[in-house]
Amino acid sequence: MKKDNNTSRLMTWIDDRLPIFSYANKNVIDYPTPKNLNYWWNFGSIAGIILVIMIITGIFLAMNYQPHTDVAFQSVERIMRDVNYGWLLRYLHMNGASMFFIVIYIHMFRGMYFGSYKNPREILWIMGVAIYVTMMATAFMGYVLPWGQMSFWGATVITNLFTTIPLVGDYLVTWIWGGFTIDSPTINRFFVWHYLMPAIIVGIVIVHLWALHVTKSNNPLGIDIKSKKDTIPFHPYYTIKDLFGFGVFLIIFLYFVFFQPNFFAEADNYIPANPMVTPPHIVPEWYFLPFYAILRAIPDKLGGVIAMGGGVMILFILPWLDTSKVRSARYRPIFKVMFWVFVADVLFLGWLGIRPSEGIYLTWGRIATFYYFFHFLVLLPALGKYEKCYPVPDDISEEFLKDHCGDTDDTDGKEEKTNA
């Protein structure tokens, strides 16, 4: 396609004043990206698209939602029954939240496996953890809005965590509630925060991507980009790959939306909130379960809260706990095993989160909690010191040729031939 002369002149005119075209070209078109990224690198872009989906469905839901204890539950039911496609908006938003967390957890574990948090990507990682914490707060407040039994009692339990803070705890909780229990003032302010925080997430994501574009992406080998030969332009290679991955993701996401819309939901949340009746099983949303299990494993109110908060906050200092200079688990035989043990430990904690906290579950919960912190505080620093790593290749493109072509022909030339 030939560029029309006037268009190109207009583009130049704009670009000289506000360089959006050269900026886009530098950051999403010619942007040099390691040529060896695998599908685990799709999840960042998927997360970005879900964030947009969540914001758009949220805005349209908000046009019919009402944050008042008298009508909140009914207004959600009205969205489900009377508002045109309201059921679709709500199921997209509900299941989107779960998908968001699945994608983010994969994104984070990817970072851990390939050592993406290490020098020079520490701030990139910290911004990621900041996003994660904000996401948790957003999801928690969103869950309160439909004003079902789980909304009410979940919010009661979580906000009561603040009462553990010595001296000011009780005042703090009253302040958060705007009253002496969770009530209309609470749901009103939670709605405002729930609407506001995604905008904050967008802001942190921008900083996240800014940092990413300074250090460039890590890659499965965990080694630095040395020359142009190690990279390919982001467009069309990764735009296409990201779109393809997004298509696969959409199939899974929409399967839940259309065929299992309440798979991740709690039946009790379809009962209107009743401050006089606590449901027999109070469970948080699945994505909080590992931390909930840590909370319950500690037999002390303040201690449990500290352990739970610590479980999240420890992620902030991960870049300094893992002292190994080698990034990718590929070249770290012991870390590689320990990584999977850690993943299993987190899943196990999640599983324990919905068990009654008594008997054997309690014992297991304590062991799993201990191991969670042991991994970060003892294993990672020790491995950095004592682990014998495999030799790390020094060149992405050399290694790439070994994997993909078996010989050292110039791939660019080869591709041209086969395509012609």
Partner 1 sequence: MSKLLGKISCPKREFLLASTSTLGAVGAAAAAWPFIDSINPAADVLAVSSTEVDLSSIAVGEGLGVLWRGKPVFIKHRTAEEIKQAQDEDSVEMIDPQTDADRVQKTEWLVVIGICTHLGCLPSGHLPGDKKGEFGGWFCPCHGSQYDTSGRIRSGPAPLNLEIPPYAFKDDTTLIIGDAEA
Q: Which spans of this chain sit near partner 1 (rule: CB under 8 A)?
A: 1-3, 7-8, 24-25, 29, 56, 60, 63-64, 78, 81-86, 88-89, 235-236, 419
| Rounded Cα–Cα distance for residues 150 and 354 (Å) | 14
Cα torsion 174, 177, 178, 182 to 10°: value is: -120
> Nearest approach, Cβ of 100 to partner 1 (angstroms)?
18
232 interacts with ligand HEM by CB under 6 A: no
C-beta separation of 194 from 141 below 8 A? yes
86 interacts with ligand HEM by CB under 6 A: no
Contact partner, 292, from ligand HEM, partner 1, none, Cβ < 5-8 Å per class: none
Which of the stretches 47-55, 171-179, 180-188, 375-383 binds ligand HEM when contact is defined by CB under 6 A?
Answer: 47-55
Place of tokens 């999240």: 312
C-beta separation of 297 from 362 below 8 A? yes
Of the pair 82, 407, the CB lying nearest partner 1 is at: 82
Contact partner, 326, from partner 1, ligand HEM, none, Cβ < 5-8 Å per class: none
47 interacts with ligand HEM by CB under 6 A: yes
Q: Which of 90, 118, 208, 332 binds ligand HEM (CB under 6 A)?
A: 208
Which of the stretches 13-21, 150-158, 211-219, 306-314 binds ligand HEM when contact is defined by CB under 6 A?
Answer: 211-219
| Rounded Cα–Cα distance for residues 228 and 306 (Å) | 47
Place of tokens 């906000």: 159
117 interacts with ligand HEM by CB under 6 A: yes
With CB under 6 A as the rule, give the number of residues binding ligand HEM. Answer: 28
Name the catalytic one among 107, 241, 266, 345.
241
Where does residue 128 rank: exposed (0-12), middle (13-18), buried (19+ CB within 10 A)? Answer: buried
Compute and round to an integer the Cα radius of gyration of the chain: 24
Q: Which two tokens stand for residue 61?
A: 């839901």
Which of the stretches 23-31, 124-132, 141-149, 298-306 binds ligand HEM when contact is defined by CB under 6 A?
Answer: 124-132
Q: What angle do CA 153, 155, 160 make, to 5 degrees?
A: 100
Of the pair 120, 275, the CB lying nearest ligand HEM is at: 120
271 φ, ψ (degrees, to nearest 5): -105, 130
Residue 241 designated active-site: yes
205 interacts with ligand HEM by CB under 6 A: yes
DSSP string covering 319-377, please? HHH---S---GGG-HHHHHHHHHHHHHHHHHHHHTTS-SSHHHHHHHHHHHHHHHHIII
C-beta separation of 195 from 58 below 8 A? yes
Contact partner, 138, from ligand HEM, partner 1, none, Cβ < 5-8 Å per class: none
Residue 75 designated active-site: no
Nearest to 194 by CA among 250, 264, 138, 276: 138
| Rounded Cα–Cα distance for residues 80 and 64 (Å) | 10
212 interacts with ligand HEM by CB under 6 A: yes
Q: Which two tokens stand for residue 110?
A: 């990817």
| Rounded Cα–Cα distance for residues 32 and 230 (Å) | 9
Name the catalytic one among 26, 68, 213, 235.
213
C-beta separation of 387 from 332 below 8 A? yes
> Nearest approach, Cβ of 78 to partner 1 (angstroms)?
6
Contact partner, 85, from partner 1, ligand HEM, none, Cβ < 5-8 Å per class: partner 1
201 interacts with ligand HEM by CB under 6 A: yes
Nearest to 65 by CA among 54, 56, 78: 78
Residue 183 designated active-site: no
Specify the DSSP class assigned to residue 272: B
Contact partner, 212, from ligand HEM, partner 1, none, Cβ < 5-8 Å per class: ligand HEM
Of the pair 129, 145, the CB lying nearest ligand HEM is at: 129
Of the pair 266, 322, the CB lying nearest ligand HEM is at: 322
| Contacts with 375 (C-beta within 8 Å, 6 or more apart), sequence order | 338, 341, 342, 345
Residue 285 designated active-site: yes
Of the pair 72, 104, the CB lying nearest ligand HEM is at: 104
Residue 398 designated active-site: no
The residues annotated with a catalytic role in the active site are: 213, 217, 241-242, 285
Q: Given the rule CB under 6 A, which residues bind ligand HEM?
A: 41, 43-45, 47-48, 51, 104, 107-108, 111, 114, 116-117, 121, 124-125, 128-129, 131-132, 201, 205, 208, 212, 217-218, 315
